[in-house]
Structure 1
């Protein structure tokens, strides 16, 4: 019943706040979801070109979520989603240093010495990419599968780096992001990480930096099994 004319006002968990006639929902517990992104969908809320987005293909009964980082339209694999903006920001920071691992199918001649040299980093068109772990898994004629690990997450990073080695990336799948693994989560499915596991994987430092909240209630429960 009181109009606030200054932002300098401390609110409690029991206060009810309205903005432009709409009630602001209560703070919810920090949550994290794994999503197996299919190729052909864009990592954005709305696409001006009218292409399908990850939010078009996610189940409708999820809470409001943000993506942690992005995957290119044709890149498949693990995309992390959270309801906590602070957690999203912290996990995207290069300083957090979480390793992101990819499997890449490439066309061209793979030189293992060139892959080993990526540990020293590489400059491509004036952009320097830090140390990259790269290994050859198998070759099939003029095609090969590689596994790569990197910590920066710059735009089109894997394709630019491998392109500089004369390799054309024909398929790219992110298989892990920090401690979280794609494993056998089917394409197009989403899975919530249990709160206890999330706390353990984040650790106290990241929880504090993100301002994560594990005391609040879950307002919109979700299945603890993969959902398409």
Structure 2
């Protein structure tokens, strides 16, 4: 069985989990905290980053959420996530990269450091200015999502795609950390409610990070 090395609030790992779940690919979750810098993990992921997908039967080791998701897309027929012609697929990849890279850098990464790592690992006080900046950035990203959803059925175009799962994975972590303000973002809120209602989302909503509880609305589809 495939093994996915990640931790509960790994946004990139959540993206892979959603894709594997949507496609019905059996896999085992292996808890890995990248900040521990285990030698055995660094042998698999020289960058020291999660997620990592391992196929013990074939000896394959894949690192990086987008790389893993495209591998799964190419090797699993169910539920295509890069549909359409070259231009459509390019737009899906552009948005997947937007959420994996820009949203993560602007919003998810600073929130994880201030609200998770400082609390659970370094025992330092959070930087309130950085927290406010990240939440302000989240609002700007929601504005962009509202714009996209005003013109499209899904983020990447007419059909559910990897762009939607990339965005939902990031938002799910930010929501767990209690840093999303949906006021004035009905388009994005309704889209996220639909994403949360998918069966592949249920394991994420039921999982908890030790020592860090989510807000009461976190696992509710109607929030």
- TM-score past 0.5 threshold: no
Structure with the bigger percentage of helix: 2
Structure with the bigger percentage of strand: 1
TM-score normalised by structure 1 residue count? 0.23
Tell me which of the two structures has the higher relative contact order, counting C-alpha pairs closer than 8 angstroms and 6 or more residues apart. 1
